[in-house]
Structure 1
Amino acid sequence: MPGGEHNAERARFSRRRKVLVALLALVAVWLAACTMLLVFPSVDSPTKADAVVVLGPPGAARLKEAMTLLDDGVATNLVISVNSVKQRAANALCRNPPAGITVHCFHPDPPTTRGEGASCRN
């Protein structure tokens, strides 16, 4: 019966190999999907909008991106969440809007994402 034991051992090894190959294939598919969704996501180009909205701290990078969108003609309205007098660039835009751009500034209450969302909803 040594031959029978050998065949049974080969069958177990073959099943293990198939399971391992299937698991590796699943991991490879999962990694490929994650790469496509997280590393190379599809991004639509903005076309037209009612307004460009700057939330969070309106820092230089966010304001620059907003101005780029406005310059590209995506919108003529700029909405900025300002919650501090220290946000000089945002406050300057609120006081002196660029030509052809309507700037709406608001102070969220509370000064959190929840307050910004409530202010935008109103």
Structure 2
Amino acid sequence: MVKKLLITFALIIILFLMSPMFMYWWGLSQIDGLGKPVDLNLTQDEKNEIWIAAREVGKPRLRKLNPYSYLLMVNCGVNCRDRFPGSNITAQAIRAEVSSQLNHGNNTHWQFTWMAYTIWATNNWSLDEVVSTYKSTRA
């Protein structure tokens, strides 16, 4: 009896710890083909201006996110933007792509997909591609 309880408890803990990964995978599965970043060959001054306009702090840089660090960032809020550089501009850069592909579903559906695509973009796009894509979506 005790052994079954321990196994059940261990499985619940494993499922709880894996749930951010499942949310990430599910969110990415909602997008038909991930978008291509834009490359505008911006000058450093232009990149700095765009960085500030996107309400990022510090020097332009991009921290790679994973589902767990994304949850930490959301939990920390605006006070931790320096700990997660580039996350805001990346989320804003891919927002139009997520909106164009998800014209169905509810807000929770949209939020998980946006989260997953933001995480994916921080790992697969360069800072130049993120900044250029952000600028192209604002033009």
Q: TM-score, normalised by structure 2?
A: 0.28
More helix by share: 2
TM-score by length of 1: 0.31
Decide which structure has the larger Cα Rg and report it: 1
Higher strand share: 1
